Amino acid sequence: MATTAGNLSAAVQAELRGDGERIVRAAASIDTAGPEEITFIADDSNLKKLQHCDGGTVIVSRHLAVSLDIESAERTFLIVDDAHDTFVHVLRQLHPPRRRPKLGVSPEAFVAETAQIGSDTNIYPRAYVADDVVIGHNCDVLPGAYIGPGCRIGDDVKIHPNAVLYADVIVGDRVAIDACAVIGSDGFGYRLVDGCHEPIPQVGTVRIEADVEIGAATTVDRAMLGETVVGRGSKIDNLVTIAHNCRLGKHNVLVSQVGLAGSVTTGDYVVCAGQVGIADHVHIGEGAVLAAKAGVFRNMAGGQTYIGIPALPEAEARRVVTAQIKLPEMRKQVRELQARVKELTARLDADVTERSKAAA
């Protein structure tokens, strides 16, 4: 969607410096932006990259603009209080969402007679909606999606291709479930009987609260009893596993390849970076941040950042890492000390022997 720097400046209420008629066709990073693309500078590191940038239009935070020779530059600047925030608004201007079609229920979809479908909801070809399902208004169920018996889905929900909702899953308003996600499969629960692993019945369900996003190929297991809950506003990345009876607080962020064992609970605004693993029945306090690959085996208090395996508070973990780095040097010093002690002990023994002889 082509526009001009002047139009964008007016749309985001920026201070315009330079040619307002400059064409802007797309947005790009400062490393790749071309003459008809817009980029942004929000920190000192990107400020240093500007001299090598070909971007014709640049959004810059006001506190950084004083470091630039804006008047003589051969580009257009949009000066704002927060360049990153403004860039997000510009992205929406340049790349508006595609218009949502109004397809209704496709004759190539299977929709059970007992299912209830809200107004302005699209059921795409080859989607499957089972008995006693209730789907709200303005929803999209895309090709290949499966909605199991008894599911309850709110308004403005989007279920992407080949996503699977097992029976009786509850989904709140404005939820997005990406392709190949599986919600409500049996939890991984077994007991050993006569040398064999016997499955424990998983008779609970999953409740996804409003404004949640579930990434592609993520799995959320149903509870053994009660509910597995993903709290309101939480954002779950691709390839995440949330086991049975987990209960996530509001506005959690789980990055790719995070694994939560059974009955993990979290407070609000918890962040788990990539490949974090959390053992069963552990509680993570409100506002805690678990750094990438952290291994968590015990409860973690909120409001702190944790690092490592086993996960430790950041300051303590850094001391441990520093000590580990010094281990080869310390090992060498210990060997030298052992050799010195051995030498001194030998001298002492020899001295004692000589004195004994002299006394005799």
Q: Which residues contact 28 (CB under 8 A, 6 or more apart)?
A: 34, 37, 38, 39, 55
| Rg of the chain (C-alpha set) | 30
CB within 8 Å of 2: residues ≥ 6 apart: 23, 24, 25, 36
Residues 6+ apart with CB under 8 A from 161: 142, 143, 144, 145, 179, 180
Host H or E run for residue 283: strand 283-284
Please name the residue that has the structure tokens 């003459």: 35
CA distance linking residue 170 with residue 295, whole number of Å: 30
Measured CA angle at 347 (ends 342, 350), to 5 deg: 125
Q: Are strands 57-61 and 37-41 parallel, antiparallel or unpaired?
A: parallel
Q: 321 near 308, Cβ under 8 Å?
A: yes
Q: Do 283 and 268 touch, CB atoms closer than 8 A?
A: no
Report the b/e string of 124-143 with b at 16+ CB within 10 A: bebbbbbeebbbbebbbbbe
Residue of 197, 244, 251, 281 with catalytic role? 244
Q: Is 296 helix (H, G, I), strand (E, B) or coil?
A: strand
Q: CA 329 to CA 336: how far, in whole Å?
A: 11
In whole angstroms, how far apart are CA 333 and each of 323, 341, 345, 347?
14, 12, 18, 21
d(C-alpha 255, C-alpha 257), whole Å: 7
84 is a catalytic site residue: no
Q: Which amino acid is at 198?
A: E
Q: How far, in Å, CA of 76 to CA of 335, rounded?
A: 65
CA 74 to chain centre: 39
User: Which residue's structure tokens are 């690092």?
Assistant: 307
Residues designated catalytic: 244
